[in-house]
Amino acid sequence: MSDMETGKFITFEGIEGVGKSTNIRHLVNAIEKAGHAVVTTREPGGTPMAERIRELVAEHGDEPMPDIAELLLVFASRALHINNVIRPALAAGTWVICDRFTDSSRAYQGGGRGVPPENIDRLAEWVHGDLVPDLTILLDAPVETGMERAGRRSDPDRFESEQSDFFQRVRATYLKIAAEHPERFVVVDAARSLDAVKGEIEDIAAALLGKPYNQ
């Protein structure tokens, strides 16, 4: 399929508190201004059933959550999302901007929980095959900065309840994946001022709209 007919698939990644929502808005504004249709979505979630899986994964349930169950749930949510939202949108020429995708599984379930990367790769191949983001924007900041910005939530979910060393492993895994896939990743230093980060997102948007990243 030619570039004219297919939308671009762009994902945002990062630990909590790095400003994903705000910067997703900046990117979406720039893409819409250029005249493209955009779907903004998130994982886990993005469809009614996938959002129900998100609740299961994030909430403190009545029974222990084995790491493998957590991994399979995020991939079950992803299978729904890919089939029912992402692929149809891309096929219709709509751009898809997604708050988290499989790199979150690699960072959180892989780096954070210690699930072997090959198990995650096998699921990724099974669930999304050749669907790889055209561009992944990793918003990176020290864990302390992210935690401070995220603030202390009154009712933290299962992930937000994790300690600093968990998020250190998540961050390190993100940086490792980004270094291994420079053709797909842009790492943005999100510890800078909001204006500086916004400026870089606008530069990325300009480059993206002028010249596709992955072609």
Q: Coil, strand, or helix at residue 11?
A: strand
Find the binder of ligand TMP among 105, 120, 127, 128 (CB under 6 A): 105
Work out how close the CB of 105 gets to ligand TMP at its nearest, in angstroms, rounded to a whole number. 4
Show contacts of 158-162: CB within 8 Å, 24+ apart.
158/57, 158/58, 158/59, 158/60, 158/65, 159/16, 159/58, 159/108, 160/16, 161/60, 162/112
44 near ligand TMP, judged by CB under 6 A: yes
Asked if residue 91 lies in contact with residue 139, where contact means CB atoms within 8 angstroms, the answer is no
Amino acid letter, 146: G
Work out how close the CB of 162 gets to ligand TMP at its nearest, in angstroms, rounded to a whole number. 8
Find the binder of ligand TMP among 108, 167, 174, 185 (CB under 6 A): 108
Work out how close the CB of 94 gets to ligand TMP at its nearest, in angstroms, rounded to a whole number. 21
Find the binder of ligand TMP among 8, 100, 128, 171 (CB under 6 A): 100
Find the binder of ligand TMP among 13, 43, 134, 200 (CB under 6 A): 43
Asked if residue 190 lies in contact with residue 140, where contact means CB atoms within 8 angstroms, the answer is yes
Find the binder of ligand TMP among 8, 10, 11, 16 (CB under 6 A): 16
